[in-house]
Each structure stands twice: as structure tokens, then as C-alpha cells.
Structure 1
């Protein structure tokens, strides 16, 4: 049975990446830095770039290769904001802080596209917007309220009725939605490799094949020990492991629900399908509890994703169901061969919000992006770097590491929910 961990090399992104993997030899021996970064994904590479540009001595320790995890396997949708609307952020954190947080996360796509341009990252950035489609009449009022809230904050918003949405996407079955012009798409593996290249150019050391097996604090400094015998001392540590978080920081993994996001990519679209499916280049996601999302790839395919299995093993049945849903959703693509299938782990939090943790002095953690990792992880890396280097408080308040009480029973509970959602989809019922 195929494992999700092995699917990185099967992805469309691995097959089409124009940014070469940056040199990242395994870390051995001993060294001392100002900041050690655990994880070579978007969070870690964004933090390393910000720190190196500020003049800090930085080393990145990645267990596998740069962009190997969710950062190099996601759908490449660059969506600003978080799962909560501006009014919900204000209700949770108070008017002043909630509005400030909404403005900060509303600029997350700007951070991505600015970095891609400034560092000339060959990641095919396209800022054509994101469409959120209502899958059922009951979902439409909330979608329209969300659009109006962001419009009131100055976002370029366009409301779409069912006919307009069908013309813009080529999809069937949606009741309407909205388009956020701040958003866009890119090649995710190329983007994270480009961030790493830029960080290395600014002076950061990159090390792949260097899993950190022990993290301890001695004499006011951190000691990171790797599986191959390396010992790295650092004044401070940034942990950016998200969907690949392990037991290195006590209790951290138990704060997250880890599930697979699975994706398929078709053969390149023929001319008629190119004219029908996303002719304007937007990306799309919908409002089901376990939503589908889709976009055009830089080489003219449809990339279509949804929720997969729980655990390490991929589910052939769920990949088959995803391919079937692709044909139902986008009739112009039905019958077109699927040429790539892959998966990656997504880290979910119970309330849909990312987390900033500082469990010990000098240890900075950011994770829990709930499927919006390209934009939010870029921002989070910059936030953690500013906190470490300049003492700047992040717009998202620091929270304690609080494990989910029923975490030990998570796999059967989540698997049952996913199976039910897929069954309802096959029966044509709203989830």
C-alpha cells in the first residue's frame, strides 16, 4: 500500500519544478548560531530568510529535503485571511486587536507575491483571485456576509451569482459565491525552494537529512541534537513543522489533528476545456465541511484536491472518489486522464485558527494553518523572526500548548467523519 510519505516524488510539482533544490548537506559536527530553525518548509524558510536578512546567524535543520512536506505538496493556492471572518476575530480578541489581526492576515497574499517578485522565485505566480463557491443554498448567506466584511475592509471583492460562477469556473452545482482579488496561485515546491535559495544567499545555512531528535536548554542556550550526531547550539529556536510535527516539543503534536489532503492532476487540457475551465486563472474552493479545491497548473492541467485518509497509508478508494468528483464538478474535464496523484499532511486546529506558542524562553512555534499554509506560513515565518530578532509581538496572540483531551481517539473519529462526508458526496447530498 502506498504511503503518503512517499508521494512527494509522485506529485506534479516535483515533476515540473523550475527551482532546483538548493544545496542542503546533512548537519554533522558542532556549530553555534543565533537562531536554529526546525523545518525546511514555508514557515521555516520564511523565518530563516527574514532572520538572515536582519543579520542573524541562522541554520535550518530539515528532516528530509527542503519543501518535502506539505509546503511542497499543497495546491499552490495563495489565499489571504484565516478561516474566521473579521467580525469573528473581533469577537474573539476584542475589537482593536481583532481588526488589527484581520488586517494583518488579509495582507498575507501580499507577503507571498512580494517575496516571489523580490527574490525572482521561478514559481509561476499568478494573481488572478480566489473564488469561494457555495455548495448549497444554506451556505450562500455566510459566503456573502464574508464577502461584505472583507469589502468593508478595502478588499477587492466581487459577488458572483450561480450563472456568473459557472462561467468563471466551468463548474456545475454551485449556488453562487465571491471572488477575492487579493489571492492567486503559484508552484508551491518552487516557491519554498526559492525562499530557501534566498535565505542561503542572505547567509543562512541549510541542512537536509538532519532530523532533530533532542531539544534541550542548557546554560541559557538551546542544544539541538540530530539523528546523525550533529550538535547545534543556538540562542533561540523557531519550530515550523506544522503537519509533520512530532514529539520534539512536549505536547505540541497533541494540539493538532493531522489528516491527508489528496490531489490529482489531469493531462494538459485540450483547447475546448481550456476555454471552459477557469479561463481567468482563478483558484476555487468550496464550502463543504470537507471541501474540494481546484485550479489550473502552470502547464495547463487541472489540479483538484480534497480530504484523504487519516494516518500514513493512502487510500486508493478515496483517490478514485476524488477523480470521480473532479468529473462531476468540471464536466469539460470528465474523461481526461489523471496523470499525477499525491498527498500530504494538513494540520487542523479545533477552532480553525493558527497558533503562536512560546512554551519556553527562546522557543518560538508557529503552526496550524488549516489548509491555508502558503500565505499564512509565509506571514508566520516573518512574525516569528521579528519576535526572535526584535522582540516584536505577533498580531496573533501567543497561546499555551494545550493538547486536545480526546487526541488519543482521533484516528477513528476523523476517519469516520471523512467516510461519511464522502458517502454524502457520492449521494449528491450537501456536507
Structure 2
């Protein structure tokens, strides 16, 4: 995208084309204006249109330009935090709402894919959280206990069973979550856009919102190129890629860089034993390693870091070593594509719900779990706008935007620290 092969890498190469869109040049009146064309914005727009609301989605770049088109493609259930920690953070009532919503989130994603016939390499075969050593196994055992107490279909496998699922003896065990799976993330974003447009949503790409002013019950948005929108509601769905409008959202998110490297399609003899059920995987290290196959059999391995300046060489070299450690038979497989982006992190790994002004709402901060939460929270925002639910019924507490004072330091630490760790590490 935008002539940058490292922005979306493999996903840009293999995704179906985006539906045709144009920049907004004139004026439109709609019930709801949505800023951002990622999972949250597209899901909100689709569900609003299905409730007979007129919608315009305004995207500064291209459909799925942000994290929705760059992530690993793991459709996970829940959040990073353990269930009991979430109940402590949000309280019993709201915590259970989030656990129920996001525990069923992957099913909602896969149902949308089936309903709208979205070609995005959907593999609802589960995910594998892989244990690094005894401490990693202890962590997964506790996750298993907490999720099973809620009735979730998760199961801890010992080293032998995990090795059969992973195709590697590198791990001490793995937690299988049967609710989850994988997709081609940019293809899913584009498919959601097509479904939204079929439902009547207007999508304008290359359209940056440059100003917003409220007059009575209406919001007046000015856009680049001289376009304008008048809407009763505004949904801000820009997450980690927030820029000039409502920049306070950017101030409360710490950017975590994440990259992926992809091989060529592997030969059938290798694919017989490597992730035979096409389950996506990641490990329990703090600077984690993720790995999965795409539909054509390419191995995709990723971790924290940015593929810019010196970091590109360091993370490439780490990728070669990491791939060889997990799958020695792939040590000579070249990487054909690479890409990276930013993850929006909150201080407690829980997303934020804000009312930025009257009838201006936002949910952001997915902490690397954007596919399912973005889809689900987009629907929830649509229900709020339609009046189906109220603020008190939302799954997240309404709160003020609270900037992270140490954000620049943390972001520098993630960028530099990941490079130092990857330059020095020689073990799992």
C-alpha cells in the first residue's frame, strides 16, 4: 500500500482486491459518520446499515491500512489478561459481559465470514499458546483453569501431544483453544468493506477528516479535498493509527511495533507435519514469537520490533534463527515478504470506551487482539447509536481519556529493547 512493500507484505500480495472507492469531494448528509476503515469501523457500519441507518465511512488512506491489514491473523477469544484479572479490573458484572462477548467473538467473526461469503482463508481450527519451559507451562495451566471454570473449550496438552499439533519439540506444552482460528486479515477487512457497501454504506478512501464542529444535533466534518459530511453521530475508529482528529486517543495508547516474515509456499512433504491442522500459534515469552501457515503453505513468523533502519537486519537475522530453532527443516527457507505495524497498548491491557463529545464515541486499545474485539465492539457501538442499548449496558466502562505520561519512553523501550533482545538471543 502507498508503494511500501513493508506495510502489508504478504497480505497485500494475496488478498482479493478492495472494493472500488473514491475520495469524498462533495457534501453528504448521513445518520452516522465513521472515521477509520478497520474492523471496528467496518463492523459498526455494516450493522448500522442493517438497521436502516445511513452511514459514511471516512478513511484517510486505504481500507485496512492500519492494524487491521497488518496483524498476524490470529482470531483469538478473550483478551491478553486472564479472566480473573479482567473481573478484578472491570468488576463482576462488566467483566462477565466482556468475557462472554469476546469468548464468543471468534464465532461471530467466522459467522460473518460465512454469511457474507468473505474470501479470507478462514481456518476455525483453534489456536495454540505454546509453553516455553516450566514457567510457561505453569502460566498456561492457570489459564486453562480459569477458562475452563467459565466453560470454555480450552485444553492444556503435554509436550508430546503439543509436538504432534505444532510439528516441533521446541515447547513444553501448549494450550489449545478450540474457539479460535486464523484468517487472512487484510482480506477480511476488504470483505467486510464489500459487505458494508452492499448494505448501503458509503466508503470514501483518501479522505482525511480535518475538522469537526457541532451545531445543534448535527456534527459537521470537513475533509481533505474539500468534502464535508453532516451527521448526527460520529464513531471514531482509528485506534493506534489516530492522527489529527481527537489526538487524545493516540496519547493514551502506547505503540508496540510488531513485524512478520513469510517464506515461500512450503513443499507438501514439509507441510505433512508442520501445523497439520493449520492452527495459529504463539509462545509465552514476554517478547513473544508467533507463527502460522497461510492457505498456500507459507510459514509466517513474527515478533515485537520494527523493520526500519538497523532493526530490519536485526529482526531478519532473529527470524532465521527462530525459525530454525522451532523447525530445523526450514532453516534454509528464504523469506519472500516482510511487513510491520503498530499495536495500540493500554496500561492494563483492557480496551477503552470513550464519549469524546456529545454523540461522538470510540472504542480503542486492543492490545494485539483486534480481530475479534474490533468486530464485536463495532457491532456494540452500532447498537448504542441505534438506541438498542444504553451507556449502562455497554461491556466497557465509560471513562475519560487518560494520556500515558511515559508513553514516549515506553515506545522507545519497545523499539530499542526488542532489537537488543533479538540481536542477543540464541535460545527460545
**TM value normalised by structure 1:** 0.93
Cα separation, 1, equivalents of 2:374 and 2:400: 19
Relative to structure 2, which stretch is displaced further, 409-418 or 137-146? 409-418
**Is 1:397 the counterpart of 2:397 in the alignment?**
yes
- State how 1:197-216 maps to structure 2 within 5 Å: 197-216=194-213
Alignment match, 2:10: 12
Relative to structure 2, which stretch is displaced further, 89-98 or 259-268? 89-98
Deviation readout 1:245-291 (Å, 9 max, x if unpaired): 12311421110111321111111111231012101111101111121
Cα separation, 2, equivalents of 1:160 and 1:47: 37
**Which of 55, 75, 79 lines up with 2:76 in the alignment?**
79
Deviation readout 1:63-99 (Å, 9 max, x if unpaired): 1111122211211111110011221122222223322
Cα separation, 2, equivalents of 1:256 and 1:130: 27
Q: SS of 2:235's equivalent?
A: strand
- Contact kept in structure 1, 2:32 and 2:232, CA below 8 Å: yes
Cα separation, 2, equivalents of 1:318 and 1:39: 30
Structure 1 portions without partners, runs of 5+: none
Relative to structure 2, which stretch is displaced further, 405-414 or 259-268? 405-414
Relative to structure 2, which stretch is displaced further, 35-44 or 251-260? 251-260
- Contact kept in structure 2, 1:5 and 1:312, CA below 8 Å: no
**Is 1:40 the counterpart of 2:37 in the alignment?**
yes
- Contact kept in structure 2, 1:8 and 1:68, CA below 8 Å: no
Alignment match, 2:243: 246
Structure 2 portions without partners, runs of 5+: none
Q: SS of 1:124's equivalent?
A: coil
Alignment match, 1:121: 118
For the aligned residue pairs, the C-alpha RMSD in angstroms reads: 2.1
- State how 1:179-194 maps to structure 2 within 5 Å: 179-194=176-191
Alignment match, 1:318: 315
Alignment match, 1:276: 273
Between the two proteins, the alignment pairs up a number of residues equal to 425
Cα separation, 1, equivalents of 2:10 and 2:308: 22
Cα separation, 2, equivalents of 1:84 and 1:73: 22
**TM value normalised by structure 2:** 0.94
How has the CA–CA distance of structure 1 residues 201 and 312 changed in structure 2, closer, same or farther, with 3 Å as cutoff? Answer: farther
TM-aligned CA deviation for residue 110 of structure 1: 1.0
- Contact kept in structure 2, 1:51 and 1:389, CA below 8 Å: yes
Q: SS of 1:80's equivalent?
A: coil
**Is 1:328 the counterpart of 2:287 in the alignment?**
no
Deviation readout 1:330-368 (Å, 9 max, x if unpaired): 223221121111112211112111111112111111111
TM-aligned CA deviation for residue 405 of structure 1: 1.3
Q: SS of 1:11's equivalent?
A: helix
Cα separation, 2, equivalents of 1:5 and 1:398: 39
